[in-house]
């Protein structure tokens, strides 16, 4: 959380945000965790690495097959080994709630991917859960699966937040709602549940850390079951909202990725 004292860690207790300095702040909306001014949400965790799992929902499998005409996605959906790839390192391409996400200028088909993120502890244990947006260029990936890194890894291609849920439930189920707004008008809404996932959270995490030195505090995004219609593409000015009860709402405006590079050192 960011406030008059700078960036502070905070926890939510009985719908009240309690900072590490003892301030108690009542959110304007407990569901989304929207805070009154001058407080605002910051990255709830700064993961040294962010990884993604792909094709973990049937809807995602079907969309990938349609966009590429390839059966490699059907094969990985049914395989024991999941698709895993590195999305970011050092938070160079990742933003928190309220900050802009990017879409590629050389892509004509860009989409958000609303996902549950696993915050990883020792040896792939799950320390908590957050919301992630794995922004992607579907036409680039669809042209050739080998273009996956270019479709997935660029400035502002990832957002996480607004909070990390810590729970003793060994198998939590999350309801996920995705809304896209343009000028205040809703242009897309979709809902899904992690109960529809082909693979479990612990299984995905265990595959990630096999022979792989994943640092503590890294985040694994677990795939999306929400895919907008083929005639829809994210554009600058769109607002993406991903809501998960118990975690809050991750809200970001869309800009061109090239604008996020202006003024940055290499």
pLDDT of amino acid 8: 86
- Domains of the chain in start order, with CATH, are 1-42 (no CATH), 44-261 (3.90.850.10)
pLDDT of amino acid 13: 87
Rg (CA), the chain: 18
Residue 194 contacts residue 171 (beta carbons within 8 Å): no
What is the distance of C-alpha 156 from the center of its chain?
A: 11
pLDDT of amino acid 263: 59
Residue with tokens 């996902």: 115
Q: Cis link prior to 38 (omega < 30° from 0)? A: yes
Maximum pairwise Cα distance, the chain: 56
Q: Cα separation of 170 and 17, whole Å?
A: 25
DSSP-based three-state secondary structure for 216 = coil
The whole model's pTM is what?
A: 0.94
pLDDT of amino acid 2: 85
- Residues near 266 by Cβ (< 8 Å), separated by ≥ 6? none
Q: Cα separation of 31 and 49, whole Å?
A: 28
pLDDT of amino acid 142: 92
Stretches where the chain sits below pLDDT 70 are 263-266
pLDDT of amino acid 264: 62
DSSP 100: P
Total count of residues recorded for the chain: 266
Q: Cα separation of 194 and 172, whole Å?
A: 9
Range 85-95 burial, b when 16+ CB lie within 10 A, else e = eebbbebebbb
Question: Which two tokens mark 50?
Answer: 């962010």
Q: Cα separation of 215 and 194, whole Å?
A: 25
């Amino acid at each position: 959380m960011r406030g008059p004292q700078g960036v502070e860690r905070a926890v939510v207790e009985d719908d009240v945000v309690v900072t590490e300095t003892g301030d108690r702040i009542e959110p304007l909306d407990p569901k989304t965790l929207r805070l009154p001014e001058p407080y605002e949400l910051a990255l709830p965790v700064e993961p040294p690495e962010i990884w993604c799992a792909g094709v973990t929902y049937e809807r995602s499998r079907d969309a990938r097959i349609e966009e590429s005409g390839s059966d490699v996605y059907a094969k990985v959906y049914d395989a024991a080994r999941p698709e895993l790839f590195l999305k970011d390192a050092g938070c160079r391409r990742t933003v928190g709630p309220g900050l802009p996400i990017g879409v590629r200028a050389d892509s004509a088909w860009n989409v958000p991917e609303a996902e549950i993120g696993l915050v990883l502890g020792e040896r792939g244990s799950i320390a908590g859960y957050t919301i992630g947006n794995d922004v992607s260029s579907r036409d680039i990936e669809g042209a050739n699966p080998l273009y996956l890194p270019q479709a997935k890894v660029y400035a502002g291609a990832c957002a996480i937040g607004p909070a990390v849920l810590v729970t003793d439930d060994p198998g939590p189920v999350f309801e996920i709602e995705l809304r896209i707004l343009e000028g205040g008008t809703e242009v897309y809404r979709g809902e899904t549940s992690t109960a529809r996932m082909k693979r479990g959270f612990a299984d995905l995490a265990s595959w990630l850390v096999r022979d792989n030195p994943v640092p503590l505090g890294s985040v694994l995004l677990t795939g999306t079951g929400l895919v907008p219609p083929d005639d829809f593409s994210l554009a600058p000015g769109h607002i993406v909202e991903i809501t998960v009860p118990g975690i809050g709402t991750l809200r970001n405006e869309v800009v061109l990725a090239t604008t996020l590079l202006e003024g940055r050192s290499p």
